[in-house]
Every structure is written in structure tokens, then in C-alpha cells.
Amino acid sequence: MKVKEIELKGHIIDSFILPKVFDTIMDFDGEFEVLQFEIGKHKTDPSYARILVKGKDRRHLDDILGELHKVGAIVPEIKETKLEPAPKDMTLPENFYSTTNHPTYVRLNNDWIVVKNIEMDCSIVVDKKKNRAFCKPISRIKKGDLVAVGKEGVRVEPPERPREYSVFEFMKSTVSSEKPNQIIVKQIASAIREVKARKKKVLVVAGPAIIHTGAGKHLARLIRDGFVDVLFAGNALAVHDIESQLYGTSLGLDIKTGRPTERGHRNHLCAINEVMRAGSIKRLVQKGKIKGGIMYECIKHNVPFVLAGSIRDDGPLPEVITDVIEAQNTMRKHLKSVDLALMFSTMLHSIAVGNILPSHVKTICVDINPATVTKLTDRGTAQALGIVTDVGIFLPMLKKEL
């Protein structure tokens, strides 16, 4: 039997850290012994635990510790982070450390250094000269990069439960549609205002159902009014937004009456063709061909947008980044200072953005399909608050509250 001592600090009981530690050990058929435990006596006091974890053998113990590490357990004797060079481009050393999306620190020269740009499922690369550490996806690894290996000398800080009631705790565990949604709209509106007041950024991730349901003008309004700092979307959102501006239709249904015109597909291809003729969405706007809509407001108000390509795309529009890795990297550049992410009706983009968001970014996912939210949280974006509702009537209400 192999043993290892771990330490936990903070609001570890009500933030479900200590329970998860015990649970995990038992899920893995391990054993534990609590060596020391000091409970926080009041709600603002931190707790402290020192626990001996026991595995059947080295591998078993390592499996358990790997999991415990992710929820914030640290090994008390502080060691330097071990580093190994990447053997070639886009290849990691064998025992590379795999990141979570929580704030992470590496031990360099007896000091804890924060890992920059943290996101899940990446590796940590250290610049020894500058004494700095970066989170890097495997696609950006260069031969010789010094990569953190093993778990020693790496510290993770999972998020703690806020000390008071917050909308982001509300309905945390379930994805039910039977909730008082009008109230939630108000709470989200106040969360947006609060983020703006702190001079932080609001990211909107938007799917084309916004246009199909006639809610495009409401999102456009939010952009015009300065509530959106950056927009991530795909080709379809931009195409149907422009289609609705040029022809008053979305997928060929008249936005105002809901009646079919010459249905769908020709109009969206014409919209693409008009952009092609102009050269870009930006040129289309500058030429005065469209006078409103989501893309128009982004361009007029200098709100940066990233249109990421997908294999479903018609066209695509010139601004669409067709290489998915380049699209990911472009999105990463815009995440700085983002404190709130609003995801509207897009499973693909929501999961993709969830993958690169650090866990401290408050995330709200609005979708009529509960599976979108379930998948988002299953894949590690545990901070996401899911709201199962109709974006076509949610957005007008949100606009009204702001």
C-alpha cells in the first residue's frame, strides 16, 4: 500500500471540495485517514484539512491523486515543478501535466507563479528566463518548449461558493425548464450591469436561431447600447442577419409576418453573394448596403467579432475564419478581461467557447434544448448556468431590463 499526504484549504465543505475528495477516494476504491481537521467556525472562516490518501500501489495512488489534484488538493512538502522539453512540434513529453480551467500555479525558484491564459485540457509551458508560465494547447507546442510534467509543484484553486446568495448558485444542480424565467432575466441584466461597472467585458456567443426567431434586432440593440464587448458566432448568424437586413427574411421566412416568401435558400445565398460582391461584411456596411442588424452594429461600434467556420457553412463570408485552429486562437485573443459569457442557442459554439474559458468567467447558456446545457457542463464548463427557454422571447425581455 502506498500513501501520500494532501492538504486542503478554504471553504472546502460548502464548496463541495472536501466531500468530493472523500467521494473520489471511495469511487477509486482507495482509503483515507484524516490527520488534521480545523473547521471554519463562521461562514467567512476558511477550513483546513490534512489527509493521508492510501492506494493499493503506486499507480492506483497516482490515479487517485490525479483526480484530487483537480479539485485543489495539494501535497504539503513543496517541490519545484518538474519540466521536460517537448520532443518535437505539437508533441508533449510523456508525463505532461494536463490543465484544468481553474486558476493554476507552478513552483519556480521557490515561488508560486500563476499560469497565464489558463484553459482546460492543455499543457503548461515555462519560460525560465522570464520566470513566467503559460497555458498552451498541444497545437501550439514547439520543439524544446519546457513543459510541466507530473503533478508536484503544481497548485490548483477551484472556485469557492460565494459567501452569499447569488443567481449563479441558483438552480445550479438541475437543468429544469420549470423555473420563474422572468426573474432570471432581471438577475442576468443586473449581472451584466455589474460586470460593466467593474470595467470588465461581456462576451456573447450567438447562434442563428436568434435571427430565425426574430430576436436579431434585440441583440443588435444590446450591441448598440454598449452591453456587448465581443461577439463570437459562426457563418450562419452573420448570413441570416444580413439576409434579414437585405430581404426581410431569415431562411426565407418573412421576419415580420412569418409567412414564406420565395423560401429560404435562395435569399441566404443572395446575401452571401452580396457580401462577396462588396468584398467583405465591413465593406458592405461601409457602402451603406445594410443599415442595421447585429453585424452592422458590431462594425459601427467597433465591437470585435470572431466568425468561426464549420463544415455546415455555405459560402462562407470573407470574415469567417475557415481554419478551426486559427479560429480557436483568434477567440483566445479576445478572452482577456471577459468576466461574463452569454451563450445563446448554439451547441457547437457554446461547447467550443466553454473549452477555452477559465472557470472564473461566469457563464450563462440559454437554449431551448436542455441537452446543450447538459453537454456543456459534462465537458467541464461546470460554472455554466443553464436556462432552458426560447431565445426568441428571452432576448426581447433581456433588452427591456437593460
- Site residues for a copy of itself, 266-305, by CB under 8 A, read 266, 268-269, 272-273, 276-277
Q: Which of 109, 110, 173, 302 binds a copy of itself (CB under 8 A)?
A: 173
Q: Which of 19, 85, 226, 304 binds a copy of itself (CB under 8 A)?
A: 19
Helix (H, G, I), strand (E, B) or coil at 327: helix
CB distance 192 to 340 below 8 Å: yes
The distance of Cα 277 from the centroid of its chain, to the nearest Å, equals 35
Q: Which of 71, 115, 184, 188 binds a copy of itself (CB under 8 A)?
A: 184
Q: Does 170 bind a copy of itself (CB under 8 A)?
A: yes
- How far apart CA 32 and CA 20 sit, in angstroms, is 13
Question: Which stretches of 96-137 are assigned E, i.e. beta strand?
Answer: 104-108, 111-116, 123-127, 132-136
Taking residues 29 to 68 in sequence order and writing x for each that binds a copy of itself by CB under 8 A, - otherwise, the string is: x-xxxx--x-xxxxx-----x------------xx--xx-
Q: Which of 5, 7, 16, 189 binds a copy of itself (CB under 8 A)?
A: 16
Burial of residue 178 (number of CB atoms within 10 Å: 0-12, 13-18, 19+): exposed
Residues 6 or more apart from 8 whose CB is under 8 A from it?
17, 18, 21, 47, 48, 49, 51, 72, 73, 74
- How far apart CA 277 and CA 365 sit, in angstroms, is 36
Taking residues 245 to 264 in sequence order and writing x for each that binds a copy of itself by CB under 8 A, - otherwise, the string is: -----xx-x-xxxxxxxxx-
Closest approach of a copy of itself to the CB of residue 127, in Å: 21
Closest approach of a copy of itself to the CB of residue 31, in Å: 6
C-alpha cell at 39: 473547521
Closest approach of a copy of itself to the CB of residue 199, in Å: 28
Q: Give residues 89-128 in contact with a copy of itself (rule: CB under 8 A).
A: 90-92, 94, 96, 98, 120-121
Q: List, in sequence order, every residue forming a beta bridge with 8; answer none if it has no partner.
A: 49
State which residue, 263 or 301, has the beta carbon closest to a copy of itself: 263
Look at residues 382, 390, 314 and name the one whose alpha carbon lies nearest to residue 354.
382
State which residue, 187 or 200, has the beta carbon closest to a copy of itself: 187
Q: Helix 391-401 crosses helix 216-224 at what angle (to 10 degrees)?
A: 30
Look at residues 149, 349, 375 and name the one whose alpha carbon lies nearest to residue 230.
349
Place of cell 482546460: 120
Are β-strands 338-344 and 305-308 bridged in parallel, bridged antiparallel, or unpaired? unpaired
Closest approach of a copy of itself to the CB of residue 103, in Å: 17
What number of chain residues touch a copy of itself (CB under 8 A)? 127
Burial of residue 2 (number of CB atoms within 10 Å: 0-12, 13-18, 19+): middle
CB distance 318 to 271 below 8 Å: no
Place of cell 438552480: 171
Closest approach of a copy of itself to the CB of residue 124, in Å: 13
Q: Which of 3, 22, 128, 287 binds a copy of itself (CB under 8 A)?
A: 22
Closest approach of a copy of itself to the CB of residue 385, in Å: 12
Closest approach of a copy of itself to the CB of residue 36, in Å: 9
Q: Which of 3, 27, 190, 286 binds a copy of itself (CB under 8 A)?
A: 27
Q: Does 131 bind a copy of itself (CB under 8 A)?
A: no
- How far apart CA 82 and CA 108 sit, in angstroms, is 9
Closest approach of a copy of itself to the CB of residue 211, in Å: 9
State which residue, 49 or 299, has the beta carbon closest to a copy of itself: 49
Closest approach of a copy of itself to the CB of residue 215, in Å: 8
State which residue, 200 or 389, has the beta carbon closest to a copy of itself: 389
Closest approach of a copy of itself to the CB of residue 309, in Å: 4
Choose the stretch contacting a copy of itself; rule: CB under 8 A; options: 71-79, 127-135, 297-305, 316-324: 316-324
State which residue, 111 or 314, has the beta carbon closest to a copy of itself: 314
CB distance 27 to 98 below 8 Å: no
Strands, sheet with 2-10, edge to edge from the N-terminal-most edge strand: 2-10, 47-55, 31-38
Q: One-letter amino acid identity for 343?
A: M
Q: Does 178 bind a copy of itself (CB under 8 A)?
A: yes
Q: Give residues 204-233 in contact with a copy of itself (rule: CB under 8 A).
A: 208-209, 212-215
